Structure formats: structure tokens, C-alpha cells
A = this chain, B = another copy of it.
């Protein structure tokens, strides 16, 4: 085992990226919890709400989050039980069903977002001078586009209009 590996600039770099992400994640999770949401539930709420009609097919929701389809089934189960979402059958394809954000879901997201944005600003974007931030984001964009797991909003084709 070569001890020098730990000083490898690649190890340093990836360590920075993940430690920054972990620190932010922890703060996000704490704030989500104040509003009765888990990180995954918040993500689902965001993805659905930013989609046309505040809805998405289960499969598409899975593709846009880090969840598997069975994971989506279960998260939607929970959120439906809590009244944040409801399922709606797709009239044109009886295999598909849509997860739709309810008024309660929108309201919950409304309550949660201001604090969320405040945390992002306090611990991330506000830590850097504007040009520094731009440079950081440019780099991240580059990496994101390279590894792109297809998670960018709108990357999947819009759902059929009749659904």
C-alpha cells in the first residue's frame, strides 16, 4: 500500500466534492425534517411540482430522481397516505399511473422552500464572491454534463398530452 495515494490530487478533489455535498445534505435534511419531509420526499415533491400539470408517470419520476421504480412506488405510497400526492390513472395507457401533487403537497413545498433557499445561500452560494461562484458552477456544469445521468429537468420527452 502506497501511502502517497492519499495525497493524490484526484483523491483530494473528490474528497472536497463529497465532503461539501455531505455537509450541505445534512443541513438540508435537518430543515426538511422540520417540515415533516425526508430528503427523498422533498426531491419527489420538487420534481413533480416543476413538471407540467404537477404530475409525472411513476417511471419518469424514477428516472428523474435517484430512485428505482419500486422505490418510487413506495415513496408515493407514503406521500399519498400523508395526502401530499395522489395517484391518477392514465386514460391512454392503462399500465401507467401518474403521481400528482395535491394542494396539501404544494402548500408543504411552499412552506419548506424558503428555508431551503436560505440554507443554500448561507452555506453554498453566499460563501463565494460572484465570479468565484460562476467559476465553480461552470466547472460543475461541465462535470454534470459529462456524467449526466439524464436527471436534468425536461430531459425526458414531455408526457402525452392526454395523460
Contact = CB atoms under 8 A, between A and B. Distances in A.
A27 interface: yes
A16 B21 CA distance: 11
30 contacts: A5-B113, A6-B49, A10-B117, A10-B120, A10-B121, A10-B125, A13-B124, A13-B125, A14-B24, A14-B120, A16-B137, A16-B141, A17-B21, A18-B21, A19-B144, A19-B147, A19-B151, A20-B147, A21-B21, A22-B149, A23-B143, A23-B148, A23-B149, A128-B143, A133-B139, A135-B135, A135-B138, A136-B136, A136-B138, A139-B139
A27 B14 CA distance: 13
Interface of A: 1, 3, 5-6, 8-14, 16-24, 26-27, 46, 49-50, 66, 106, 109-110, 113, 117, 120-121, 123-125, 127-128, 132-133, 135-144, 146-149, 151-153
A30 to B, nearest CB: 12
Contacts of A127: 142-143, 146
Contacts of A18: 21
Contacts of A133: 13, 139
Nearest to A117: B10
A109 B121 CA distance: 38
Contact of A9 (B113, B125, B136, B148): B125
